[in-house]
Amino acid sequence: MKLTDNALTVLKRRYFKKDKKGKVLENWEDLVKRVSNNIAKGDVEKSKRYFRLLDSGNFLPNSPTLMNAGNDLQQLSACFVLPVEDSMESIFESVKNAALIHKSGGGTGFSFSKLRQSNARVKSTSGVSSGPITFLKVFNSATDAVKQGGTRRGANMAILNVDHPDIMEFITCKEDTSELTNFNISVGITAEFMNAFYEDDEYELTEPHTGKIIKKLRARDVFSLIVEMAHKNGEPGVIFLDRINEYNPTPHIGKIESTNPCGEQPLLSHEACNLGSINLAGMVKQGEIDYKLLEETVRESVDFLNDVIDRSKFPLEMIDKMVKGNRKIGLGIMGWADLLFLLNIPYSSDEAIDLASSLMEFIDFTSKKRSMELAQAQGAFPNFKGSIYEKSELKRKKLNLNWDALGVAISENGIRNATTTTIAPTGTISMIMDTSSGIEPQFSLVYVKQVMDGDQLLYVNPHFEKALKEAGIYSEDLMKKISDAGSIQQMEEIPERIRKVFVTSHDISPEWHIRMQAAFQQYTDNAVSKTINFTREATPENIKTAYEMAYQSGCKGVTVYRDGSRENQVLNIGSKIKKSMNGTRISPRKRPVITQGTTQKIETGCGNMYITINSDKNGACEVFTQIGKVGGCASAQLEAIARLTSLCLRSNVKLSSIIKQLSGIRCPSPMWSKGEMITSCADGVAKSLKTFMEMSKNADNSLEEINIKADDADKIPSGKLSGLCPDCGSTIEHSEGCMKCNNCGWTKC
């Protein structure tokens, strides 16, 4: 397969095997051989088939499979769901198990709905419960600790049912975006709640540990608070739990209470997801979808994902048992937006919606047919008896495929996998394939790309570039103009037929986003990862309408994001990052002539370090560091840390935020000091700042939110207000339920 420079960068950073010094030991062919040989488990013919499948560019499994297959870890699943029962033993057992999963490279989902509410009596201690939110913070801190240990970042999903007594506190628990940074949160919505909402009635809050009704709330008040918070910063999302359990294939095994971090994979407790995606852009031949190629790709992909289950090493024995009892796989897609470009179909059109449902029906049907054939050869999944398949209950039936006959065949022969389809985020694997993510529209047609030495280049979507060249209007100046504008919809120099097809996220109304999600959900076993994008000007009423529409159209959950709604965002407009926002960027306050402070001594691997923290009338304002007799590079780096910390303090950045960034940074010479490990000089500065913060009541300065005046906001192109990637500094986008970087492959999830 021919790889782009961007794909090679991502592969070298995240996927190719490296030695202890970080030297890359693989190329693309080596990676594909390693993965295909491992999953085939010595079957030479099957290994050749899998090599062709992966190297074709038509299918890739989830990232852990590409990273870990054939390596010592051999943990091939991306995400897990763990139970949290109402006892200290269960809570901290789950904390421990989550740490093991994060260490192995997985993400975790939890329902905190079984925990008794805050201030509820605890008989065993004669005390009161601290409630789910407090324990949520414990899980968040544990994730930080694992992350600081140098392993892959752990991501989490927290779900609380809407009938939990602490639901109002949960809805607002991420109002401060510096809190619970390792969690996505979603409210578990019930049918009872939605009925009360439509009837403008109250609904009941139930005490989890007793089942007693302790209070009633007006459903519309709760719904309004969810909408208000989502409008403010994109969270919480909503999960429609009753609908998810309506399609639970093994209700006799348990009730589904949570999902993975991005929401597309509802799982029973101790289950893991095993995912992969087909590149739809590779299915187009001579301007039409090649359904024969698609059928072959689906069948091979099902075989591959089914074998991944048997080759996986899970971090817990209970997970191994649950996964192999249900054998769920989740075959999804990527390249949907590029497919529409190739077929000249607008994303926001009935034609696209019809194609989405019929295409996904074909994939779902073909995957189940192949799974049924595997069951004939290898046996049905062990928990088949009592499942929805035993009574041929295939709930999705349409006109052009014989679902009735397939249902009968499955009830007679069994099916190898309890689920076969999921539409998951495809962030980095779609970058390897040089195609669009999942079912999302393109975020931009032309965008700024960071390269080595801080240079910035314009990246142009290849299908868009080809269309412009065929029309005879392609030029570098036009590309820069498009990048600055963020959309081509108002550019009359571009033919209308091109403008109609080449739309981006913010050209598409939320209603079309939801219709697209619902079209794919109709033929997807699990759920669909999708972000409903709104412009900055969207109102809470717009978001309320979207939530209602998602429920009414059959979605299993919904995540919204209003552009620019997160704090600490910067502009990335056109071919360079603007140095100001019309004069609204904050500047550090001036240092007074006299300051007062304290000096702390901390032992580090480089020697004794002395850290002085001074304050002015507004709180901490500067940091000075000095360390033994060390000079040269180490001394210069320490001075840089002190200067940048001082700049942050005088710019009203929270002390806690600075501490979080510096904590846990490791050097080759860690040192114990006063009963705690100092992992580096930077970590020592963080611990000194933490001590200062605990001593000073006025230490934790607030970061004032940067407000853009309404008159100025209108001048900023839609879709261009976003954060920067912490790895490479490129613009990050919010899609598929998470923030990600299209330049280097970094993702928050």
**What's the whole-number mean pLDDT along residues 675-692?**
84
Q: Is the pLDDT of residue 8 over 80?
A: yes
Residue 739: the pLDDT is 76
How much is the mean pLDDT over the chain?
A: 87
Q: Return d(Cα 549, Cα 530) in angstroms, integer.
A: 14
Q: Return d(Cα 631, Cα 640) in angstroms, integer.
A: 13
Residue 141 and residue 31 in one domain:
no
Q: Is the pLDDT of residue 34 over 60?
A: yes
Residue 448: the pLDDT is 75
Residue 198: the pLDDT is 97
The CATH number linked to 245 is: 3.20.70.20
If you compute the radius of gyration of the chain from its CA atoms, what whole number of angstroms results? 26
Q: Is the pLDDT of residue 746 over 80?
A: no
Q: Is the pLDDT of residue 571 over 60?
A: no
Whether residue 139 lies inside any domain: the answer is: yes
| b/e sequence 216-243, b meaning 16+ C-beta within 10 Å | ebebbebbebbbebbbbbbbbbbbbbeb
Residue 224 and residue 310 in one domain:
no
Residue 94 and residue 172 in one domain:
yes
Among 132-146, 588-602, 698-712, the minimum mean pLDDT is found in 698-712
Q: Is the pLDDT of residue 177 over 50?
A: yes
User: Comparing 624 with 463, which gets the higher pLDDT?
Assistant: 463
Q: Return d(Cα 549, Cα 559) in angstroms, integer.
A: 13
pLDDT tier, 197 (very low <50, low <70, confident <90, very high otherwise) = very high
* Secondary structure string (H, E, C) spanning 13-72: HHCCCECCCCCECCCHHHHHHHHHHHHHCCCHHHHHHHHHHHHCCCEEECHHHHHHCCCC
pLDDT tier, 504 (very low <50, low <70, confident <90, very high otherwise) = very high
Q: Is the pLDDT of residue 44 over 80?
A: yes
Whether residue 231 lies inside any domain: the answer is: yes
Residue 130 and residue 239 in one domain:
yes
Contacts of 488 (CB under 8 A, 6+ apart): 445, 482, 494, 498, 499, 502
Query: Which residues are part of the catalytic machinery?
Result: 260, 262, 264
pTM over 0.85: no
| CA trace torsion 466, 472, 473, 474 (10° rounding) | 40
pLDDT tens digit sequence for 248-300: 999 999 999 999 999 999 999 999 989 999 999 999 999 999 999 999 999 99
* Secondary structure string (H, E, C) spanning 617-637: CCEEEEEEEEECCCCHHHHHH
Hey, what amino acid is at 160? L
Hey, what amino acid is at 314? F
Residue 249 and residue 299 in one domain:
no
Residue 184 and residue 92 in one domain:
yes
Among 85-89, 344-348, 396-400, the minimum mean pLDDT is found in 396-400
pLDDT tens digit sequence for 585-618: 566 887 887 888 888 888 887 778 888 898 887 7
pLDDT tier, 639 (very low <50, low <70, confident <90, very high otherwise) = confident
Q: Is the pLDDT of residue 399 over 70?
A: no
Q: Return d(Cα 438, Cα 60) in angstroms, integer.
A: 12
pLDDT tier, 660 (very low <50, low <70, confident <90, very high otherwise) = confident
The number of domains in the chain is 3
Whether residue 526 lies inside any domain: the answer is: no
Please give the structure tokens belonging to residue 290: 């090649």
Whether residue 221 lies inside any domain: the answer is: yes
Q: Is the pLDDT of residue 567 over 50?
A: no
Q: Is the pLDDT of residue 150 over 50?
A: no
Residue 249 and residue 104 in one domain:
yes
DSSP code of residue 708: P
Residue 374 and residue 386 in one domain:
yes
**Helix, strand or coil for residue 289?**
strand
Q: In the listed set 413, 431, 450, which residue is the last one of a domain according to the structure?
A: 413
Whether residue 2 lies inside any domain: the answer is: no
Residue 625 and residue 686 in one domain:
yes
pLDDT tier, 455 (very low <50, low <70, confident <90, very high otherwise) = low
- Using an 8 Å Cβ cutoff, are 571 and 581 in contact? yes
Residue 70 and residue 85 in one domain:
no
Whether residue 434 lies inside any domain: the answer is: no
Q: Return d(Cα 465, Cα 474) in angstroms, integer.
A: 7
Residue 651: the pLDDT is 84
Hey, what amino acid is at 223? F
Q: Return d(Cα 569, Cα 158) in angstroms, integer.
A: 25
- Using an 8 Å Cβ cutoff, are 359 and 289 in contact? yes
User: Comparing 677 with 162, which gets the higher pLDDT?
Assistant: 162
DSSP code of residue 108: E
| Of the candidates 109, 98, 104, the residue with the CA atom closest to the CA atom of residue 152 | 104
Residue 374 and residue 293 in one domain:
yes
Q: Return d(Cα 5, Cα 13) in angstroms, integer.
A: 12
Whether residue 420 lies inside any domain: the answer is: no
pLDDT tier, 672 (very low <50, low <70, confident <90, very high otherwise) = confident
Residue 650: the pLDDT is 85
Q: In the listed set 413, 429, 461, which residue is the last one of a domain according to the structure?
A: 413
Q: Is the pLDDT of residue 732 over 80?
A: no
pLDDT tens digit sequence for 215-246: 999 999 999 999 999 999 999 999 999 999 99
Q: Return d(Cα 719, Cα 500) in angstroms, integer.
A: 18
Q: Return d(Cα 333, Cα 331) in angstroms, integer.
A: 7
pLDDT tier, 649 (very low <50, low <70, confident <90, very high otherwise) = confident
The highest-confidence range among 7-16, 575-584, 688-697, by mean pLDDT, is: 7-16
Q: In the listed set 259, 284, 302, which residue is the last one of a domain according to the structure?
A: 259
pLDDT tier, 733 (very low <50, low <70, confident <90, very high otherwise) = confident
| DSSP bridge partners of 189 | 240
Residue 151: the pLDDT is 41
DSSP code of residue 747: B
**What's the whole-number mean pLDDT along residues 163-174?**
97
Give the CA distances from residue 512 to residues 310, 426, 440, 530, 733, in Å, rounded to whole numbers and listed in that order: 40, 21, 11, 12, 19
Q: Is the pLDDT of residue 522 over 80?
A: yes
- Using an 8 Å Cβ cutoff, are 277 and 429 in contact? yes
Whether residue 682 lies inside any domain: the answer is: yes
Look up the domain containing 152 and give its range. 79-259
Among 26-35, 69-78, 300-309, 703-712, the minimum mean pLDDT is found in 703-712
Residue 147: the pLDDT is 64
Identify the H or E element spanning 297.
Answer: helix 291-311
pLDDT tier, 713 (very low <50, low <70, confident <90, very high otherwise) = very low
Backbone conformation region of residue 150, classed left if phi is above 0, alpha if psi is from -120 to 50, else beta? left
Residue 282 and residue 356 in one domain:
yes
